[in-house]
Chains A and B, each alone.
Chain A
Amino acid sequence: GQQLNQSPQSMFIQEGEDVSMNCTSSSIFNTWLWYKQDPGEGPVLLIALYKAGELTSNGRLTAQFGITRKDSFLNISASIPSDVGIYFCAGLRSYGKLTFGQGTILTVHP
């Protein structure tokens, strides 16, 4: 089956630092989505990427759809305490089946 390798698994950073996480796959995806999940809640969509090479920003968040269509990264600039949570990448090939990465647990120390 399709696998997404998401790294790092966890990050411990100081408030104000920048964060970068990425996902890679051996398969091509047509869409990449990045979600944030707080404990006990559902994934909340952060950024959607639809074309290879696309670079999209949402406030302090920036994400890119890799040229090869097999990878994507998410950057968070100037982190704040409320950025704490689990970040998931998800890739879509067809028919609506999202394949999720294993998640990156982000901890921000004030």
Chain B
Amino acid sequence: EPEVTQTPSHQVTQMGQEVILRCVPISNHLYFYWYRQILGQKVEFLVSFYNNEISEKSEIFDDQFSVERPDGSNFTLKIRSTKLEDSAMYFCASSGQGISTDTQYFGPGTRLTVL
């Protein structure tokens, strides 16, 4: 069964450093998303991406964040200068077309720890 994959599974970085989180969405999906989950809290929307453009972003997704689909398979989230409060699980999700556009499948996540 197709699935969303993410790398790395765990990233440790120093405050102020740049990180890039990588995702490979399900191959025939057209819509891509990033969410984050701070430990013990609910999952929060960051950004949605379609047709090489951001469709919607939350207030969390400020100028320090960017997304890119550099090729036909990868979808990345970059945090330019990490802060302590960026420590969280980051989940990539993807969805297909038609009614399936609403059905988002999540990857296993990247645990980001900012020291």
Contacts and interface: CB of A to CB of B under 8 A. Distances in A.
Given A42-B108, A97-B56, A92 B102 contact: yes
Interface residues of A, number: 24
A109 B104 CA distance: 31
Given A42-B108, A43-B91, A99 B45 contact: yes
A30 B91 contact: no
Contacts of A88: 42-43
Contacts of B6: 42
Interface stretch (A44-52, A67-75, A76-84): A44-52
B65 interface: no
Interface in A52-110: 88, 90, 92, 95-103
B18 interface: no
A102 B45 CA distance: 13
Contacts of A33: 102-104
Chain B, interface size category, equals 20 to 34
A44 B33 contact: no
A100 B42 contact: yes
Given A96-B33, A96-B55, A97-B58, A43 B48 contact: no
A31 interface: yes
B48 to A, nearest CB: 4
Contact of B106 (A42, A50, A101): A42
Interface of B: 4, 6, 31, 33, 35, 42-45, 48, 50, 55-56, 58, 91, 93, 95, 99, 101-109, 111
